[in-house]
Amino acid sequence: MEIRFQQSPKETAAMNTQALRESFLCDALYESNSIKYIYTHYDRVIIGGALPVNEIVTLENHEELKAKYFLERRELGIINVAGSGTVEVDGTSYSLEKLSCLYVGKGVQSVKFASNNAATPAKYFLLSAPAHQSYPTTLYTKEQASPVALGSTATSNERTIYKYIHEDGIQSCQLVMGLTVLQPGSVWNSVPPHTHTRRMEVYFYFDVPEEHRVFHFMGQPQETRHIVVANHQAVISAPWSMHFGSGTSNYAFIWGMAGENKQFTDMDPAPIATLL
């Protein structure tokens, strides 16, 4: 498990490209038949990638957690971004097609990941946060996530938003998760830009064509920075940092949050005309 400590706005403003990437980019989340973990001290969230190809992989406990098992004091959100697969939770199996989401609550002792076809394996994006209460394991398909169409071609941000773990969906202690799919010809995400100092956020980009990239903007609104992101890479967004981006093609991304509250609409706007 890789450990990432917090960076202040002052430190971040002085960073060069390499330092920004080392601090905020999660660029190697997948390895065949294993789970990669990154523990960020922003709200003590754990980011993970599970890639079972021809073996079952198991959610492992880590010394850093000082726990009897991974979910002793944590909850977990799982979204599949590739081929179909199954996730076994304390002996019960759940089928996850692409864009399905599974929530696993505090107290679950065994989580196992598998793919249905080694030629087109599942790729699971994981997000875990500390939890004080146990909520039931719940599966949502993308159709159950009440997809909402937003944006327009005029502003190049025509997109569909799927909300899975939130106040009116799958219940959790503090996790909020969903995803956004941009339509062909649209490239901008999360406009207008905003911050929310009550919670951190992670953006995981997927369905980015191999030869294309997403330019993820971060930093304070009057001290902007950017990170160039490829397919299946994630960016850690500090609570004080704005977060929006533009791609050289359309793409999709998972957004996941944890912190002070679960209100999806809790945002502090940073109007585009004020950015520097």
Domain ranges in the chain?
Answer: 2-274
CB of 261 within 8 A of CB of 72?
A: no
Residue 193, pLDDT score: 87
CB of 125 within 8 A of CB of 46?
A: no
Residue 270, pLDDT score: 86
Q: Which residues of the chain have pLDDT under 70?
A: none
Residue 38, pLDDT score: 97
How is domain 2-274 classified at the architecture level of CATH? Sandwich (2.60)
The two three-digit tokens of residue 250, written as one number: 């359309």
CB of 237 within 8 A of CB of 256?
A: no
Strands 34-40 vs 2-4: parallel, antiparallel or unpaired: parallel
Residue 263, pLDDT score: 73
Residue 61, pLDDT score: 95
Which residue bears the tokens 């997000």? 127
Residue 195, pLDDT score: 84
Residue 12, SS3 per DSSP: helix
Residue 23, pLDDT score: 96
In the chain, what is the straight-line distance between the N-terminal and C-terminal CA atoms, in Å? 36
Q: CB-based burial of residue 119 (10 Å sphere; 0-12 exposed, 13-18 middle, 19+ buried)?
A: exposed
Which residue bears the tokens 């939770």? 89
Residue 257, pLDDT score: 94
